[in-house]
């Protein structure tokens, strides 16, 4: 008698975390922005647990970005620890939990607000629980850092729901800020691990300069800027922190930089994404003196830093973990240009031409949707297909 329990989700898409969650991230990048555009213009009316701007910010962070982070960490931690992470039915279950979090806010009035909050809030703690076992088994300190950052993200999401449920005032925006700044901090940490490695793999015969001191300084100075902003501390103290963050991060990137990256889209997209983060720090300083509105540096970090870098990371990780040659097609090179144009229209143009804000916002949306449409067209079949080399994963 065969007691073997057949897996329901025994498909390549659910064989490793990056496959399912990158697919969900790209789909959400298209659906969430299309929906937000319709809601913003008043062309669509839907009851929502969140206010409109709050929903947009929350979903781009807890929807799109959290899916990318989940896919990356479920895959990277398996590599770093040599321990199994979620696959098959368990991975599908985590994906469904993420998906429910995107859907239930539209059932406000039909479902209790507390239930909506719990469904959305549960994703990060469940993800942490899924990752803790392999991390503890391998005693991997590098992975422990990411557990801590995921925990801070969960706390930030808690603040958002606490205000939404009427349990406290003026903590929701703090939660959004904390989410953005924690994600940027996570990107700065990941950059130190993968940028030198990717550069050396992508350009034969090169060696990126690694500096543990600059790795620490780039993160510490960046976090100092974020903490000062969250506590609304400006003036000379903030400017000193901003200058420190810009110098530390420029020096760090300079050690990895090799001019030949500009011939390799999988590399230049990562460096340009990092450039948006450094520009974000510069714009924070300009905003502190009232030279530009506060939303401009925030979108440099989100559309520029998070949007550009996550697309670049998904492109590189997907090829590497499906046994394919590490080379993009012209379609993806165009997508990389479009995602940067989206950031340019959302960040630079409103600073130069504030009267054209509406037109630039629409242009940014169109470029974003075109970029992710091309990405889905090219990478969708790859994410759903078995590895080229026949290996598991």
The verdict on residue 376 lying in a domain is yes
The pLDDT assigned to 390 comes to 72
The verdict on residue 70 lying in a domain is yes
The verdict on residue 4 lying in a domain is no
User: Is residue 160 located within the same domain as residue 198?
Assistant: no
d(CA 32, CA 99): 12
The verdict on residue 393 lying in a domain is no
The verdict on residue 310 lying in a domain is yes
And the tokens for 343?
Answer: 């950031």
d(CA 101, CA 53): 17
The pLDDT assigned to 5 comes to 54
pTM: 0.95
The verdict on residue 179 lying in a domain is no
User: Is residue 235 located within the same domain as residue 380?
Assistant: yes
The pLDDT assigned to 1 comes to 41
User: Is residue 198 located within the same domain as residue 164?
Assistant: no
User: Is residue 363 located within the same domain as residue 255?
Assistant: yes
Owner of token pair 């800027």: 225
And the tokens for 133?
Answer: 């076992």
User: Is residue 202 located within the same domain as residue 70?
Assistant: no
Distances from the Cα of 94 to the Cαs of 100, 137, 187, 222, in angstroms? Answer: 10, 21, 23, 31
d(CA 182, CA 151): 10
Per-residue pLDDT of the chain (393 residues; tens, 9 = 90+): 444 455 777 888 999 999 999 999 999 999 999 999 999 888 888 889 999 889 999 999 999 999 999 999 999 999 999 999 999 999 999 999 999 999 999 999 999 999 999 999 999 999 999 999 999 999 888 899 999 999 999 999 999 999 999 999 999 999 999 999 999 999 999 999 999 999 999 998 888 899 999 999 999 999 999 999 999 998 999 999 999 999 999 999 999 999 999 999 999 999 999 999 999 999 999 999 889 998 999 999 999 999 999 999 999 999 999 989 999 899 999 999 999 999 999 999 999 999 999 999 999 999 999 999 999 999 999 999 998 877 777
The pLDDT assigned to 232 comes to 92
Alpha helices in 165-288 (DSSP H): 172-202, 212-230, 235-256, 265-288
User: Is residue 63 located within the same domain as residue 211?
Assistant: no
The pLDDT assigned to 141 comes to 84
The verdict on residue 180 lying in a domain is no
All residues at 6 or more sequence positions from 217 whose CB lies less than 8 Å from its CB, including other chains: 244, 248, 252
User: Is residue 138 located within the same domain as residue 279?
Assistant: no
The pLDDT assigned to 2 comes to 45
How many structural domains is the chain composed of? 2
User: Is residue 150 located within the same domain as residue 255?
Assistant: no
Structural domain ending residue among the three candidates 169, 202, 236: 169
Please count the CA atoms within 13 angstroms of the CA of 223 that sit on its side-chain side: 14
User: Is residue 106 located within the same domain as residue 199?
Assistant: no
Domain encompassing residue 29? 11-169
d(CA 172, CA 158): 9
The pLDDT assigned to 6 comes to 59
The alpha carbons of the chain give a radius of gyration, in whole angstroms, of 21
Transcribe 40-99 into DSSP letters. Answer: HHTS-----SS-HHHHHHHIIIIIIIHHHHHHHHHHHHHHHH------HHHHHHHHHHHH
User: Is residue 357 located within the same domain as residue 236?
Assistant: yes
Structural domain ending residue among the three candidates 110, 136, 169: 169
Q: If DSSP codes are grouped into helix, strand and coil, which group holds residue 361?
A: helix
CB atoms within 10 A of CB 353: 11
The verdict on residue 154 lying in a domain is yes
User: Is residue 152 located within the same domain as residue 210?
Assistant: no
Is there a contact between 228 and 353 (Cβ–Cβ < 8 Å)? no
User: Is residue 100 located within the same domain as residue 213?
Assistant: no
The pLDDT assigned to 3 comes to 45
Nearest C-alpha neighbor of 370 from the set 12, 33, 17, 9: 33
């Amino acid at each position: 008698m065969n007691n073997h329990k057949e897996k329901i989700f025994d498909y390549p898409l659910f064989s490793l975390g990056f496959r399912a969650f990158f697919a969900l991230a790209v789909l959400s990048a298209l659906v969430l922005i299309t929906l937000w555009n319709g809601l913003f213009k008043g062309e669509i009316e839907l009851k929502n647990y969140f206010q409109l701007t709050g929903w947009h910010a929350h979903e781009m962070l807890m929807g799109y970005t959290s899916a990318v982070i989940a896919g990356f960490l479920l895959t990277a931690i398996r590599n770093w620890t040599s321990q199994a992470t979620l696959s098959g039915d368990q991975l599908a279950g985590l994906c469904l939990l993420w998906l429910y979090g995107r859907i239930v806010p539209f059932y406000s009035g039909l479902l209790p607000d507390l239930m909506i909050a719990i469904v959305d809030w549960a994703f990060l703690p469940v993800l942490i629980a899924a990752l803790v076992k392999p991390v503890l088994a391998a005693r991997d300190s590098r992975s422990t850092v990411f557990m801590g950052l995921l925990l801070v993200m969960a706390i930030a999401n808690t603040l958002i729901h606490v205000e939404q449920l009427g349990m406290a005032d003026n903590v929701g925006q703090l939660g959004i800020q904390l989410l953005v700044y924690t994600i940027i901090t996570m990107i700065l940490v990941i950059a130190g691990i993968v940028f030198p490695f990717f550069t050396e793999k992508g350009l034969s015969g090169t060696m990126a300069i690694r500096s543990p001191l600059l790795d620490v300084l780039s993160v510490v100075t960046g976090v100092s800027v974020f903490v000062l902003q969250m506590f609304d501390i400006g003036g000379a103290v903030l400017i000193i922190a901003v200058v420190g963050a810009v110098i530390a991060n420029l020096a760090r990137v300079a050690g990895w930089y090799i001019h030949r990256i500009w011939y390799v889209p999988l590399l230049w997209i990562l460096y340009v994404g990092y450039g948006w983060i450094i520009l974000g720090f510069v714009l924070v300083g300009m905003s502190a003196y009232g030279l530009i509105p506060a939303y401009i540096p925030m979108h440099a970090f989100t559309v520029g830093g998070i949007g550009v870098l996550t697309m670049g990371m998904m492109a590189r990780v997907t090829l590497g973990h499906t046994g394919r040659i590490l080379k993009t097609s012209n379609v993806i090179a165009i997508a990389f240009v479009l995602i940067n144009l989206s950031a340019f229209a959302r960040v630079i143009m409103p600073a130069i031409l504030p009267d054209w804000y509406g037109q630039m916002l629409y242009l940014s949306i169109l470029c974003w949707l075109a970029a992710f449409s091309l990405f889905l067209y090219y990478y969708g079949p790859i994410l759903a297909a078995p590895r080229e080399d026949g290996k598991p994963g």
